[in-house]
Amino acid sequence: MNNQAEIVRVLEIKLSDVRVGFLAGYNDGKNIFTFAHEYINLEKENRPTLSLKYYDQPINVFRKPLISRVKLPPLFSNLLPEGELRDYFVRYLKIDSDHDFAMLSLLGRDLPGAITAREMAKNDVPPYAINYRAQIPDQIITARNNVANNFSLSGVLMKFSMFEKNGEFFITKSKNIGNWIIKIPSTRFQHVPFNEYACMQFAKSAGIDVPEIRLIKLSNIKGIPDILMPDERFAYAIKRFDRDQKKRIHSEDFAQIYDFYPAQKYKGTNYETMARTIYNVFPDAINDIQEFAARLVVNIMIGNGDAHLKNWSIIYPDAIHPHLSPAYDIVFTRAYIENDDSIALNLGKEKKTIALSLDHFKKLAKRADFDWNIIKKRVLETIQRARDNWPTVLYDLPMHDLHKQKLKQYWKTLTPDFRIVI
């Protein structure tokens, strides 16, 4: 029998100022999240919601730990970067790309939503949070104090969590937390900041709830690492809906809700399942399901093939009850991928934009078990607002001319229910 002690590091997980639990990372790659006893013992009306799967649940649900190997459980793994930003931190930490625990320890001060993760000293960890044979190192193993850019944002393209001061934007350091997300120009795709800014303005003009957005000069951004960038002058900025001044507002994306890893964001489920969750669980179900349907219409009409599970989120404005978050990451993806003729997830068993019609929204309502009339008026209003506003808005926005031409060609491919004539 092997009696060798396991080595473990422990992160304290908080929602704002409330200790929620402990995430233990063992040297064999095992990760175990255990809810804190004081969190479990809170009165239900005072217990902040960690994830929708724990919303309005009996107390015994919190006694079951989350266990995973190498990668953290999806609830935490989805807090971490993908793509270029992840590669940057992998190189910094000199770790394997799947080593989520080390990355969360580094970046846990400024994460999406209200979650924070802080590595704990040996004497601060309660015995129930780790295996009885496990040993915690005497010294905290973290590089956090040696890196300025210790924030995390999910997503593939390079982006930064920043705060604004006198018209300039700074990467979060020390006690500052970012209240803006800044997306710099991509070396893979041209003019993404202009594309996303234009598409978000399209969405706003169609009645969609969007945060404040801006195009900002790269010269007004301070502290960007020395990374390769194209010859473009502007970045895209979006105000964070999970921040209110220095206050954190909890949020989570639908990949976290359904326990899917980022790699499953295009295939984990469908829009009907998401609609059913919103309608059956959210307190303000009518307004949220109408906004959800309107946003689907916009994604179809704008040619956004990237409205996957991680590009839909919910927020907890009062820390407890869920509400659909404002829209984000709406992009005319066909501008970059010529054969991009699909939406991200199935809608009425269909993904091809050239085949989608109002009948698919009727199917969505039927399969999500609510009356079509609940969303019908909002869907039709959104279509009409797009038809009324977008042709004019298109000429006024700083979208690249080639992208404008492609968008006008795309509108011609849509079924009569969604087509825009220009």
- Residue positions annotated with a catalytic role: 306
Helix or strand holding residue 162 (H, E): strand 159-165
The Cα 378–Cα 376 span in angstroms is 6
CB 74 within 8 A of CB 264: no
Phi, psi of 171 (to 5 degrees): -65, 140
- DSSP letter at 66? E
| 3-class secondary structure, 333 | helix
φ, ψ for residue 365 (rounded to 5)? -60, -45
Strands (DSSP E) along 282-329, which ranges?
313-316, 323-324
Question: Sign of the C-alpha dihedral, residues 259, 262, 268, 273?
Answer: positive
What is 189-257 written as a DSSP string?
A: STTHHHHHHHHHHHHHHTT-----EEEEEGGGEE---S----S--EEEEEE-TTEETTEE-EEEEHHHH
CA-nearest of 412, 382, 299, 291 to 347 is 299
Torsional class of 346: left (φ above 0), alpha (ψ -120 to 50), beta (otherwise): beta
Q: Which amino acid is at 231?
A: D
Q: Which amino acid is at 25?
A: G
- Helix (H, G, I), strand (E, B), or coil: what is residue 356? coil
The radius of gyration of the chain's CA atoms, rounded to the nearest angstrom, is: 22
84/245 Cα distance (integer angstroms)? 28
Instruction: Please enumerate in sequence order all residues whose Cβ is within 8 A of that of 122, keeping only pairs 6 or more positions apart, or say none.
Output: 136, 137, 138
